[in-house]
Amino acid sequence: MKQFIYIFFIIFISLFLISDNHAHATQLDKSYDIEQLDMFLKIKSNGDIEVQELFKYQFNGEFSTITRTIGDDNHGGIKGFRAFEFPVERYNGESPDEPLQELPSSKKGETFNVSRSAKDETVFFYYEYIIENGVSKFKDISEFYWKFFDSENDSDIHNITIQIKLDEEADKTEDFTFGTVHDWNLGTSKTKNNNLSYSNEFLPAGELLEVRLLFPSAFSSAMEYTAKEDKLDEFLLEEKLNLQAYTI
């Protein structure tokens, strides 16, 4: 499934209440860098996707709100979104399993607003949520097609890692039938034992990053068919044509 995930920051400052022009001028003195992004996704047999994300931000200037925008097309919705601050000294590159300080958040449209004041500092933000019905199921194959970033993303991102795996029930099925990353900025990826891993030292703003995974439909035992027809050959042909277009 194709999906847009993109990141925006909204800056709220007290000067905004005085003058729009003054506020915009002041905002020119502010900046941030996304120095690291680690994403962990687990595909469930009912078609849901459990997502954990850790963003490392370096703030220059004063900020009070960040936002996380997740498009709502072609899946059943986003549920259970929660935001936390993760102590920088505790992070070891793995998904957290200890209690964290939850941050206030609210949702408007496709955007989650997270409240956390920051000034000239490094902050780790941890998000967790579930993508409902993120998998398509067919007679001969199930598909997870997810667009992490595209032209809507206006921030450079450094040091990205993504790990995607089938839930523990995957032991009852075969390995991924096919896995690929569409990334014209040439990150590296590999699939092994029902896991896909991806890394990239730098993804420029506006660049495409999406993943397509095909795995035995037997794994998706707790969901209904999207369409009761064979799709594997069609999908593999699409990927062959994509590769040819890229190498021309």
> Going edge to edge, which strands form the sheet with 178-182?
136-137, 142-149, 209-215, 178-182
Least confident of 148-152, 159-163, 208-212: 148-152
- What residues does 37 pair with on adjacent strands? 55, 160
How many Cα atoms within 13 Å fall on the side-chain side of residue 174?
Answer: 11
Look up the CATH number of the domain holding residue 74: 2.60.40
> According to the model, what pLDDT value does residue 66 have?
86
Residue 19 inside a domain? The answer is no
Does residue 24 lie in a domain region? no
Phi/psi for 96 (5° steps) reads -70, 145
Residue 206 covered by a domain: yes
214 belongs to a structural domain: yes
Residue 23 lies inside a defined structural domain of this protein: no
Of 24-28, 66-70, 90-94, 118-122, the poorest mean pLDDT is in 24-28
Q: Which of 28-32, 118-122, 192-196, 218-222 has the lowest mean pLDDT?
A: 28-32
| Structural domain span for residue 61 | 5-10+30-247
| Secondary structure element (H or E) that encloses residue 245, with its range | helix 232-247
Decide if pLDDT at 11 tops 50: no
pLDDT band at 247 (very low <50, low <70, confident <90, very high): low
Asked if residue 145 belongs to a domain, the reply is yes
Compute the distance between CA of residue 100 and CA of residue 90 in angstroms, rounded to an integer.
11
Task: Please count the structural domains in the chain.
Answer: 1
Domain membership of residue 219 (yes or no) is yes
* Within a domain: 40: yes
- How confident is the model at residue 151, as a pLDDT? 85
- Give residue 67's pLDDT: 82
Q: What is the mean pLDDT of residues 95-114?
A: 83
In the chain, the amino acid numbered 91 is: Y
